[in-house]
Chain A
């Protein structure tokens, strides 16, 4: 029945076109892929120069009426086109070869799929295969170093932590720099990926310029990462099982802290603040605890995944289930994740229905990080005195003499949990009009639902539990949910006018609405045997256990209308244009709507006759492209920032309202003008492929804190003022050095140089200072602005600074501050290599950043003599003590100022991000085992780091604050079996 319907449509199509000629013969055939020798369904079979055509069925077979003088063209995305004269043949079998040219690739460009040839914008694709083995829970970290223009910094090694992702520099100061993440057509929350299974992802398209992102209008400013999940293929059902197991270790800290002997010597030389007696000192010298050994351990990673894909001619499916279990290098931290996915697609006459449903549940145990709180165990690694040990001889926890919490006790007895449920469900219907070929209607609706249940249990015997209200521990519970739906409806028409002219046009409307609510409470008095809700003691004014209850919520929405068109001429000149009008709930009535748009062009130079006739032409492919357009940004500001806002305010048990936001009715979108020009080429018969791009992105109407007179009660207000530019180059190469039948050696490298510069601020203002940072016209954002430290005066131990007139002075004066560098890396990228010999394969990937400077606040805390009650850096042994002593550490009684260049360091590093050695069993062995494939691998993640930065980990997107959780160094073994 289905088949006949199909033919009916074909007939209908022909009838409509009314071009059926006489003297035709029936031509049939089978089309096979050269890749795996399996039939190819869906191949477009067309009679050249006409609009008549057919499509192969599930068995790769086609049937078409054609006359003997006509030519059949066979085309399928990802394969090279073929042509065949019909002649007298009634059976034409074709084997299509994979298109390995760079311009032959098929790229998901957001709302549609395009051939690389016609793309006018800047898009990088990372395939799911490249990251599927990486033993990291959050897929964004696995993309590090793989695409030019994309800077990904992990900031944390905590299992499940998401990275900081910046595409082509930071385009906003107060807004969010997170790219927009689109999963199968719907927006998903950024920087919250621990509950997704990266193995479900087929590809990541990273959209970087206006031609590719302006279709996302007000959300496209920071680039877009379009994720496509795996789909089933018609044919025999394939089942894959993947397993991986490994261990992780933390690096040791390059900036040492004092040993017992050193610390006691220091204390004695500094007036013996604890008043140790000689016998106490003797006792203390018995202990020399390395707190890194106490607080760091070996972590384990284990993952299992099983997936099945297949389908019939009209219905395909992909199913997967996975378990991921990773424990961190800090005790009591880890992530357990369970995911499931079902992707279904079915065709019924002219309708295609699709449903992608995935659900994930993760349990995250974590610890405080990225702060300078004394209760953070990762700070205690640095601060705990070496002459104390975590346990007493009787097995109890030691009460540290400094009064600081015992970090091991904090870590082991307290629990911080997050249970996350994430459900993403997407459904679509597509209707391909039978009455007009090329016309289709599609509506795609999806929901991204995230539910977080957080729980923090503080044991009453720990410091954190003791300082809780009521001094007997606490249990904090939180429940947050975020519901976002994205609905996109489109009408597209694509027409091959004749052999030279092809165009497409699409109209879209889209609605996005986001609702979030959060609710929580903290209960006190966990004095009984229960460590959960059952343990909370009801509060009253006498026992002080009055629970704390809180809640909040927010809502925002976006409505959009947009259109997009492309035009191609002779298969080598392409134009594209798009326009989008967005309405946002966040802005005042006068500024609710804004329009964005772009134009782009590309030219396949190598297809020109003059190039093909060129003598000694070693370019096999050349494409030039350019685009210009505008995109917007509205992320990172509040839902109602344009209004004068009042929030709940309680005094003496009575409810009132307090001002939290100044009115700003003129608040509107940030607008970014993006220009991009690029050259894509292949040299030496495709052995070397490269892309060189230049971009110039100017943000106008920048969200900036306009400084207010503090007499308003506020220091600043978010306003659309100023402009900023990110300008840079990206170069990437892939070279095949050896390309033998058995042995292959490939090298790849990419580098990005991004120069950020503030172009203007409000009015005639040319700078403003925010803490240790300055924002100044002509300089990059996040410029560190501190007084230059010039060592120590040997005569008196005073810290020396450089004054504004360049002289050395012993007086700290904030007016002497200078720009020391920016925390945003201007240079970054990655390089890698892969060798393969028969079934054996070795891949290695390095990533690097260069040119940034970081303030090391960890050193600010352990090189401050005021903290002599806790452990200090080893370098403090060299503190100035006697006149004439030459040292870098000032005398203890010299006023300590943290805002100096003394603690600023270069953030440069190169890291061996991933190395993977694998072996795939040859076909003859596979057949004997009665399986489809078997691959085994040994992998290392973050094994080597080269840096001068004196912190646990230089991979930071901003200053080092404290309690850093270093990146996991993981070695795993794994196996992939296909059935």
Chain B
């Protein structure tokens, strides 16, 4: 009996001591954040991950279904594009302005934007401890993360704020400066602007002193990261939206002084991501093989599906013979005209092409528009307009305009230059005009959107209101309750 008990005990004991370590498994194909971020290299990895989020399908990427909130959607929701019968009708609620707070695409964009902000905030989390380790690298990483954070909040403000004025006390978008799971309220538009300009200001300071150059200086098609020039360009855009015209002029000038417009010979190369030398492109989000496409929902190049065609009214505005943009932006394909800006790199037609976030031509247009709002600058405004036209239109003879005619000309030039670059809806919105689709096609059911309609400001997604006790129904945008 003794032996039985002994044998039993030994067996049981061996059973229990066996391999407790079996369950101590560390992830290999993913990383545990709590064990990382011990040096600046991990912060740099996280910064790369932050940029990568811009390709998310709700932001600049396109995918089957509503996508591309900041790439193609602002033109679809305008008079630049007309939906065709080839469309799979996934954008119907958006382009007809039928959306309510439960719209999935709107919530998708809201989350995608804050996902970028979250990754930027992770990149900033605790980075100050390494400020002294390698100040140049620290400045380079932190400066870019701050600029991204400001830029994305600014993008959100464009859709979700009703009134974009600098001192507007209407509600803006939550400004998230830390990575955490806390709820956060909607501040005023003014407070949102303050966050944006604070971050951009600090980014500009930090990026002035980095350990190495951030972007290629020889081929501006490769400018994928934010450097001091990019920060100035973002500032110029933000100053224009917030109607700080003098500051917009200064910021745009800083960019224009460093980056020339592309020559007509190089213009089509911009859209093919070819080497265009040191000109034109300020910031592009690269799309490479396997990373999706930025504009397939307008023209799905590899499937030859033209879901949205250029509206006849926009085509009619170009000088079809002399304007380099006409042949670059449009192409006759079969019996129809398609948008040919985003066909692919080189000679490919697969739609895999960089998304152009900011080009220097926008700086000319910003500055021209700003000049028209600062007294006694008609000549300056006209000069910028003519400079851009001369660059794009062969044999162009500069015109002389003033007053409303000049303002209209700048607005039209902006529409023609920045066609399907994510501006049109916002340009009509921020200048509080009405949208009229004179070429409404057979698919749109809403052919106009008057100024003041609730649809100009997107609803705060219902999911946010349910989950966030600091944003209630009362904080919803006007008209959605």
Query: Of the candidates A469, A511, A640, A895, which one forms a contact with B22 in the assembled complex, judged by CB atoms under 8 Å apart?
Result: A511
- CB under 8 Å from chain B, chain A span 876-897: 893, 895-896
Determine the chain B residues whose CB is within 8 A of the CB of A466 once the complex forms. 302-303
Judge if A561 is at the interface, Cβ distance under 8 Å. Answer: yes
User: Are A640 and B467 touching (Cβ within 8 A)?
Assistant: no
Name the A residues within 8 Å of B45 (CB-CB).
655-657
Whole-angstrom distance between the alpha carbons of A716 and B466 in the complex? 12
Question: Are A585 and B25 in contact (CB-based, < 8 A)?
Answer: yes
Whether A542 touches B346, Cβ cut-off 8 Å, given contacts A436-B4, A511-B22, A656-B49, is: yes
Q: Which residue of B lies closest to A522 (CB)?
A: B290
Q: Mark A529-569, 1 if CB is under 8 A from B, else 0.
A: 00000000001011110101001111111110100000000
**Candidates A436, A659, A663, A768; contact of B34 at CB < 8 Å:** A663
Q: Would B85 and A274 count as touching, CB distance under 8 A?
A: yes
Binds B, one of A360-368, A707-715, A918-926: A707-715
A:553-595 near B, CB below 8 Å: 553-559, 561, 583-585, 592
Type the 1/0 row for B251-281, where 1 means its CB is closer than 8 Å to any CB of A: 0000000000000000000000000000000
Among the 9-residue stretches B132-140, B174-182, B389-397, B407-415, the one with 4 or more Cβ atoms under 8 Å from chain A is: B174-182
Q: Is B89 an interface residue (CB 8 A)?
A: yes
Which residues does chain A contribute within 8 Å of B16, judged by CB atoms? 509, 561
Report the stretch among A132-140, A406-414, A645-653 that lies at the interface: A645-653
Partner of B345, one of A435, A541, A655: A541
B-facing mask of A628-657, CB < 8 A → 1, else 0? 000000000001100111110111111111
Q: Is the CB of A557 within 8 A of B23?
A: yes
Interface residues of B in 294-344 (CB under 8 A from A): 300, 302-305, 344
Q: Which residues on the A side are within 8 Å of B53 (C-beta)? A: 649, 658
What band does the interface of chain B fall in when counting residues whose beta carbon is under 8 Å from A? 35 or more
Cross-chain contact A463 with B442 (CB below 8 angstroms): no
A-chain residues with CB within 8 Å of residue B288 when the two chains form the complex:
546, 652-653
Residue from B52, B176, B443 whose CB has the most chain A CB atoms within 10 Å = B52
By size class, the interface of chain A is 35 or more
A403 contacts the other chain (CB 8 A)? yes
- Does B217 reach chain A (CB closer than 8 Å)? no
| Closest Cβ–Cβ distance, residue A711 to chain B (whole Å) | 5
Contact of B303 among A433, A467, A542, A647 (CB under 8 A): A467
**A residues 669-709 touching B (CB-CB < 8 Å):** 707-709
B115 close to A548 (CB less than 8 A): no
Query: A647 to B52, alpha carbons, bound, how many Å?
Result: 12
Q: Which of B107, B174, B183, B463 has the most CB of A within 10 A?
A: B463
CB closest chain-A residue, reference B291: A650
Q: How far is the CB of B86 from chain A (nearest CB, A)?
A: 5
Known: A439-B4, A469-B352, A585-B25. A813 touches B100 (CB 8 A): yes
User: Please, which residues of chain B bring their CB within 8 A of the CB of A663?
Assistant: 33-34
Whether B302 pairs with A469 at a CB distance below 8 angstroms is: yes
**Residue on A nearest B27 in the bound complex, by CB:** A640
Which of A402, A489, A657, A899 touches B31 (beta carbons < 8 Å)? A657
Interchain CB contact under 8 A, A656 and B52:
yes
Judge whether B453 is part of the interface by a CB distance below 8 angstroms: no
Contact B46 A403 (CB under 8 A): no
Give the chain A neighbours of B107 by CB distance below 8 A. 710, 715
Q: Which residue of B has the minimal Cβ distance to A639? A: B27
Q: Which residues of A732-753 are within 8 A (CB) of B?
A: none
Chain A residue at minimum C-beta to C-beta distance from B293: A469
User: Is the pair A714, B115 in contact by a Cβ cutoff of 8 Å?
Assistant: yes
Cβ-defined contact, A491 with B12, below 8 A: yes
Tell whether, in the assembled complex, residue A659 and residue B118 are in contact, meaning their CB atoms are under 8 Å apart.
Answer: yes
Tell me the complex Cα distance, A364–B184, Å.
Answer: 51
A769 touches B466 (CB 8 A): yes
Chain B's nearest CB lies how many Å from the CB of A474?
11
Which residues from A are CB-within-8-Å of B92?
866, 895-896
Q: Is the CB of B18 within 8 A of A509?
A: yes
Which of B31, B86, B89, B350 is close to A645, meaning CB atoms less than 8 Å apart?
B31
Chain A neighbourhood of B183, CB < 8 A: 709, 711
Given the interface pairs A645-B31, A707-B467, the reply to whether A651 lies near B115 with Cβ below 8 Å is no
Q: In the assembly, what is the distance between CA of A554 and CA of B28, in Å?
A: 8
From A708, A716, A768, name the one whose CB has the most chain B CB atoms within 10 angstroms: A708
Among A402, A441, A644, chain B packs the most CB atoms within 10 A around the CB of A644
Instruction: Tell me, yes or no, whether B130 is within 8 Å of chain A by CB.
Output: no
Q: With a CB–CB cut-off of 8 A, which chain A residues contact B165?
A: none
Q: A554-B29, A710-B461 are in contact. Are A717 and B181 (CB under 8 A)?
A: yes
A483-505: which residues lie under 8 A (CB-CB) from chain B? Answer: 489, 491
Q: Is B48 touching A656 in the complex (CB atoms < 8 A)? A: yes
Tell me the A255-277 residues at the B interface (CB within 8 Å): 271, 273-274
B86 cross-chain contacts in A, Cβ below 8 A: 403, 869
In the complex, whether A281 has a CB less than 8 A from a CB of chain B is no
Chain B residues near A439 (CB, 8 Å)?
4
Most buried by A among B46, B345, B347: B46
A399 to B110 alpha-carbon distance, docked (Å): 39
Q: How far is the CB of B172 from chain A (nearest CB, A)?
A: 12
7 A-B interface contacts by CB (under 8 A): A274-B85, A436-B4, A469-B289, A652-B286, A657-B49, A659-B33, A713-B116
Q: Which residues of A contact B (CB under 8 A)?
A: 271, 273-274, 373-374, 402-403, 433, 435-436, 439, 441, 463, 466-471, 489, 491, 507, 509, 511, 513, 539, 541-544, 546, 548, 551-559, 561, 583-585, 592, 639-640, 643-647, 649-663, 707-717, 768-769, 771, 812-814, 864, 866-867, 869, 893, 895-896, 899
Query: What 5 A-B pairs have minimum CB-CB distances, sorted nearest first?
Result: A656-B48, A713-B118, A658-B49, A644-B33, A713-B115
Q: A647-B30, A707-B467, A708-B181 are in contact. List 14 more A-B contacts (CB 8 A).
A: A467-B303, A470-B350, A471-B302, A491-B15, A511-B18, A557-B22, A559-B22, A585-B24, A640-B32, A653-B286, A657-B49, A658-B119, A663-B34, A709-B181
